[in-house]
């Protein structure tokens, strides 16, 4: 019992030493993580409750969590990488929601033109050749 | 014996797995990146996402180089994922640009459709007016100051009576068609006689003949608001009453179509 306690304490001490040695995550990496944090927040605001990009936003949040954890653990490279992935996922979420709303607007526009054409054809029965002319 | 053999096999297998684990045959992330990056690079709209496409290519090149050198799987996966994400972002930007182009084209097309509809409306109004004039010309309508005048001669009525003969039906049908085609069009029906008989008799006959044509048009579905009638008796001859031919010309019903459609045509108004 006692010897096991001693061994655990020793392990703990060793870990602490190791952690201290590695905990020097550079300010640059911390900045990078902070930037990703901002991007994820902005993506959240842009998306609101929209479904488009929701999966990517969640992935961005998960990566951000991993980046934060990596800072705590003093893991420089994982912190950088997860920050970068969080950044990319946040950008992807935003661009997905933007392209979805642009597509929706375009489709609505096309539908309204189609409707206009149909109305125009209906209101001019004296011009039957129009129906075959158009497309 | 047997037991030891299988242990050896297992050890060999484990060694192999360990050896291969740094660079397995395929890494999903790398395969994905290799598929998507060239796609966005080849897009004719690649210009809207230059930075992302450049970043994607650089990351894919790094991933490929690592795979070539049997680098760490985690490193290859990371670079490949960076490549794929950038390619996906580029793809969304390209889709957005396409949608915006569609919207711009749509805006222009919408305008064209609206303009065409207006022009078509104007054209068909003109066509209706022209068709009317052609139709009236077919009925030997004469253009006068009062408008287009179609004359229904005496032969279309029973002598001394207001009843239309069957021979007048074709003309009446066509007049009805003209009026129904253009509900804004108004017509004044004028009855005329020669100078044989009393003024009162002639006045009454001219009124009854005008009313008879009006009734025939109503029967064929012309709206009451389009027609007005007047009896002019013997007051407005078009030929001499001194001979039979002239008198026959004077016994007539005139339909006056005003060319300016805003008011009923008549020189008596």
In angstroms, the CA B101 to CA B63 distance is 35
Phi, psi angles (nearest 5°) of residue B239: -145, 175
Tell me, yes or no, whether A130 lies in a domain: no
pLDDT at position B59, please?
98
Verdict on whether the full-model pTM lies above 0.95: no
Looking at per-residue confidence, does B156 or A30 come out higher? A30
Tell me, yes or no, whether A28 lies in a domain: yes
pLDDT bin (cut points 50, 70, 90) of residue A134 is: very low
Residues A87-112: pLDDT tens digits? 999 999 999 999 999 999 999 999 99
In angstroms, the CA B222 to CA B59 distance is 80
Nearest CA in chain A to B116: A120
Looking at per-residue confidence, does B85 or A20 come out higher? B85
* Contact call for B117 and A105, based on CB within 8 A: no
Mean pLDDT in residue range A1-10: 63
Superfamily of domain B129-257: OmpA-like domain (3.30.1330.60)
Burial of B174 (0-12, 13-18, 19+ CB in 10 A): middle
pLDDT at position A119, please?
83
Tell me, yes or no, whether A126 lies in a domain: no
pLDDT at position B12, please?
54
Chosen for mutation from A109, A125, A128 (greatest number of chain B CBs closer than 10 Å) is A109
Would you tell me which residues 156-185 of chain B have a C-beta closer than 8 angstroms to some C-beta of chain A?
A: none
Domain count, chain A: 1
- Domain ranges for chain B, please list them: 23-102, 129-257
pLDDT at position A15, please?
56
User: What does the pLDDT profile of chain B (269 residues) look like in tens digits?
Assistant: 456 566 555 555 555 455 445 556 789 999 999 999 999 999 999 999 999 999 999 999 999 999 999 999 999 999 999 999 999 999 999 999 999 999 999 999 999 988 988 888 888 878 877 777 777 777 777 778 888 888 887 777 777 778 888 888 888 888 898 888 888 888 999 999 988 888 899 999 999 989 999 999 999 999 999 999 999 999 999 899 999 888 888 889 999 987 654 444 444 43
Chosen for mutation from B59, B106, B125, B182 (greatest number of chain A CBs closer than 10 Å) is B106
* Helix B169-181 and helix B199-219, axial crossing angle in degrees, nearest 10: 60
pLDDT at position B15, please?
52
Tell me, yes or no, whether A7 lies in a domain: no
Tell me, yes or no, whether A93 lies in a domain: yes
Residues A67-89: pLDDT tens digits? 999 999 999 999 999 999 999 99
What is the rounded average pLDDT for all residues in chain A?
Answer: 83
Tell me, yes or no, whether A5 lies in a domain: no
Tell me the count of A-B CB pairs closer than 8 A. 78
Candidate from A16-25, A124-133, B2-11 with smallest mean pLDDT: A124-133
Is residue A130 pLDDT above 50, yes or no? no
From the CA of B218, how many Å to the nearest CA of chain A? Answer: 25
B103 touches chain A (CB under 8 A): yes
Q: From the list A84, A89, A113, which residue is nearest B113 (CB)? A: A113
Would you tell me which residues 131-150 of chain B have a C-beta closer than 8 angstroms to some C-beta of chain A?
A: none
Measured in whole angstroms, how far is the alpha carbon of residue B56 from the centre of its chain?
48
* Contact call for B124 and A124, based on CB within 8 A: yes
In angstroms, the CA B48 to CA B96 distance is 9
By residue range, what is the domain housing residue A105? 20-121
Phi, psi angles (nearest 5°) of residue B191: -95, 140
From the CA of B254, how many Å to the nearest CA of chain A? Answer: 30
> In sequence order, which residues have a C-beta less than 8 Å from that of residue A100 and are 6 or more positions away?
A50, A52, A53
In angstroms, the CA B111 to CA B193 distance is 58
pLDDT at position A8, please?
66
């Amino acid at each position: 019992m006692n010897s096991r306690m001693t061994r655990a304490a020793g392990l703990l001490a060793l870990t602490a030493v190791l952690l201290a040695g590695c905990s020097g995550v550079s300010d640059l990496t911390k900045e990078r993580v902070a930037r990703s944090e901002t991007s994820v927040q902005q993506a959240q605001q842009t998306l609101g409750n929209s479904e488009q990009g929701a999966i990517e936003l969640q992935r961005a949040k998960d990566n951000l969590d991993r980046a934060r954890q990596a800072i705590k653990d003093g893991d420089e490279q994982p912190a950088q990488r997860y920050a970068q992935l969080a950044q990319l996922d946040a950008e992807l979420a935003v661009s997905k929601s933007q392209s979805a709303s642009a597509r929706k607007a375009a489709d609505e526009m096309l539908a309204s033109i189609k409707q206009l054409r149909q109305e125009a054809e209906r209101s001019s029965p004296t011009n039957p050749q129009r129906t075959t002319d158009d497309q | 014996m047997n037991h030891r053999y299988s242990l050896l096999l297992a050890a060999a297998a484990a060694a192999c797995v360990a050896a291969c684990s740094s660079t397995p045959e395929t890494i999903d992330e790398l395969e994905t990146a290799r598929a998507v990056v060239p796609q966005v690079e080849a897009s004719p709209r690649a210009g809207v996402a230059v930075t992302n496409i450049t970043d994607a290519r650089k990351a894919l090149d790094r991933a490929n180089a690592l795979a070539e050198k049997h680098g760490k799987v985690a490193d290859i996966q990371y670079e490949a994922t960076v490549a794929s994400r950038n390619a996906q972002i580029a793809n969304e930007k390209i889709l957005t640009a396409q949608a915006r182009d569609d919207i711009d084209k749509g805006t222009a097309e919408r305008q064209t459709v609206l303009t065409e509809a207006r022009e078509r409306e104007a054209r068909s109004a003109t066509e209706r007016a022209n068709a009317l004039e052609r139709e009236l010309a077919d009925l030997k309508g004469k253009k006068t100051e009062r408008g287009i005048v179609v004359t229904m001669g005496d032969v279309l009525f029973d002598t001394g009576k207001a009843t239309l003969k069957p021979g007048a039906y074709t003309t009446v049908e066509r007049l009805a068609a003209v009026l129904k085609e253009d509900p804004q069009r108004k017509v004044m029906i004028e009855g005329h006689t020669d100078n044989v008989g009393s003024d009162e008799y002639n006045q009454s006959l001219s009124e009854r003949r005008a009313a008879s044509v009006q009734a025939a048009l109503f029967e064929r579905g012309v709206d009451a608001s389009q027609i007005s009638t007047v009896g002019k008796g013997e007051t407005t001859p078009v030929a001499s009453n001194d001979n039979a031919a002239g008198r026959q010309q004077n016994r007539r019903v005139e339909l006056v179509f005003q060319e300016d459609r805003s008011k009923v045509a008549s020189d008596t108004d």
